[in-house]
Amino acid sequence: MQESVIQQTASFVKDRLKNAESGHDWWHIQRVWNNTKLILETETADGMVCELTALLHDIADSKFHDGDEQIGPRIAGEFLHSIGVDADIVAHVQNIILHMSFKASLGEVNFHSKELEVVQDADRLDAIGAIGIARAFNYGGFKNREIYNPEIPVAENQTKEAYKNTTAPTINHFYEKLLLLRDKMNTTTGKRIAAQRHDFMDSFLQQFYAEWQGER
Ligand code: ADP
Ligand code: NI
């Protein structure tokens, strides 16, 4: 029963994300789903809730719906309800999706659950390391941002608004978000993997600046 619900959800998400932008396409979902299962090997949490949330967490991005933060949880809830998932599981999944994003975590956090911690870590892992670097430059390219500009300083103490409205070069995004994620990880497994991916980003930046200066 549980397996069938998860499979039906995976098919629904894969189909819905057929034409999604590449930052939140099916492959992102599949990586987050895999990260979730990896973390669940060493954490005690409700696997069903975690897997369903991993699959549904980016089903609709508020960025493309006039900032409507409720649209993702609503579509996820309607789908889970339609395949007969218990109302309390549906509500939990919806709550996690609503509270999961980095932007949400810049605001006041008034919801906690072990399952949120697991899936949030799984999602954050996909924003750092080699994949994180690729996603950041892909996003910056899509927005026609500069890759780097030494004259544009990094914004400190980002507020929710500033984070949303930035037009800064992509390298700045490392300091505004990517390098902060390691210390925000919730679970032991998440922390271990994040540390390794963080070091990789550090090496990348070191090499980047060396090449920028024209060093051999
Ligand atoms: P999330 O889905 O974690 O809330 P976003 O939707 O903000 O994250 O971002 C999706 C991907 O695009 C992430 O890999 C993120 O690092 C990247 N990204 C977001 N904003 C920027 C930016 N200003 N510059 C470069 N990459 C960005
Ligand atoms: Ni995501």
Share of the chain above pLDDT 70, in %: 90
- Does 137 share its domain with 184? yes
Position 115 in a domain: no
211's tokens: 């090449």
The three-class DSSP label of residue 87 is helix
Report ipTM (2 d.p.).
Answer: 0.95
Question: Residue 164 corresponds to which tokens in the numbers above?
Answer: 């949303």
Helix pair angle (87-100, 114-125), 10° resolution: 50
**Does the C-beta of 135 come closer than 6 Å to ligand 1?**
yes
Q: Which token pair is 72? A: 């993702």
Question: Measuring CA to CA, how many Å separate 120 from each of 28, 105, 116?
Answer: 13, 10, 6
- With cut-offs at 50, 70 and 90, classify the pLDDT of residue 165: low
pLDDT digits (tens, 9 = 90+) for 120-134: 999 999 999 999 999
Token pair 């550090």 in the structure block, residue: 202
- In the predicted model, what is the mean pLDDT of residues 19-40? 93
Residue nearest to atom 4 of ligand 1 (CA): 101
Q: Does residue 23 line the site of ligand 1, with CB under 6 A?
A: yes
Q: Is the pLDDT of residue 169 over 90?
A: yes
Q: How far is the CA of 216 from the centre of ligand 2 (A)?
A: 37
* 56, 147: one domain: no
Predicted structure pTM score: 0.92
Asked, for residue 117, whether it belongs to a domain, the answer is no
Angle between helices 114-125 and 188-212 in degrees, nearest 10: 20
Q: Which two tokens stand for residue 163?
A: 């984070």
Residues 132 and 96 in one domain: no
Residue 138 falls inside a structural domain: yes
Residue 5 belongs to what H/E stretch?
helix 2-16
Q: How many domains are contained in the chain?
A: 2
Q: For residue 63, give the ligand 1 atom closest to its CA.
A: 6
Q: Residue 29 belongs to what domain range?
A: 1-110
Residue at a domain's end among 81, 110, 139: 110
Q: How far is CA 22 from CA 58, 64, 77, 122, in A?
A: 12, 14, 24, 18
What CATH code is carried by the domain that includes residue 11? 1.10.472.50
Instruction: Give the pLDDT band of residue 204 (cuts 50, 70, 90).
Output: very high
Residue 65 has pLDDT above 90, yes or no: no
- Longest Cα–Cα distance in the chain: 61
Write the CATH number for 163: 1.20.58.1910
- Indicate whether 24 belongs to any domain: yes
The pLDDT value given to residue 131: 98
Q: Residue 201 CA: which ligand is closest?
A: 1
Residue 118 belongs to some domain of the structure: no
Is residue 26 assigned to a domain?
yes
Q: Which of 69, 131, 144, 173 to mutate to test the pocket of ligand 1 (most atoms within 8 A of CB)?
A: 173
Do 3 and 38 fall within a single domain? yes
Same domain, 51 and 82: yes
Same domain membership, residue 40 and residue 6: yes
Confirm whether 133 is domain-assigned. Answer: yes
Question: Do residue 102 and residue 15 come from a single domain?
Answer: yes
**What is the band of 66 on the pLDDT scale with cuts at 50, 70, 90?**
confident
Task: Round the average pLDDT of the chain to a whole number and report it.
Answer: 91
- 15 and 54 assigned to the same domain: yes
Per the CB < 8 A criterion, the answer to whether 7 and 33 are in contact is: no
